[in-house]
Homo-oligomer: A and B are copies of this chain.
Amino acid sequence: MLRTELSRRASCSPETVRHYERIGLIEAPPRSTAGYRLYSTVHLRQVCFIRAARSLGFDLDEIRRMLVLARQPDAPCRPLDAVTKTHLRHIDEKIEQLRHLREALARILASCEGGKIATCGIVEALHGEDCQTKPNPSGFNHGGAHITR
């Protein structure tokens, strides 16, 4: 099959398929006399694998490693399991971060009372306390130009 059909069956764009070949994630397929890429169902399975993993949030480098592992039917699948577990931990961390962030944002939002910008809690919150006019939080300027001309 040609590139567009492969991409359609794997639910991605033709450009993405070319990209995967360019970065060596899938092998370059044979070509027709006109130079067209001729894909087999083996390629299709690989691209489907990649897309499924991408949609689960794996990055292409993780996927590259997974493909190497998945290619050997007789190898133990513990290493693949390990990659997946690590990824799951990353996702848990990301969720945790977003929760904190959500909380902070909600707090800030609550401080707005619908008045003018000048008295808005959001604006104030976003200016923080640890920057401001305090000149030199931890000494620096080790030999350098003037500080404040």
Within 8 Å by CB of A88, from B41, B95, B102, B144, lies B102
Whether the Cβ atoms of B120 and A80 lie closer than 8 Å is yes
Chain B residue numbers with a CB within 8 Å of A127 are 45, 48-49, 52
How many chain A residues touch B (CB < 8 A): the figure is 79
Interface residues of A in 93-137 (CB under 8 A from B): 94-95, 98-99, 101-102, 104-106, 108-109, 112, 114-118, 120, 122-123, 125-128, 130-134, 137
**Contact call B76/A116, Cβ cutoff below 8 A:** yes
Residues of B within 8 A of A51 (CB): 128
Q: Given that A8-B137, A70-B123, A81-B122 are contacting pairs, would A102 and B112 also be in contact in the complex, using a CB cutoff of 8 Å? A: no
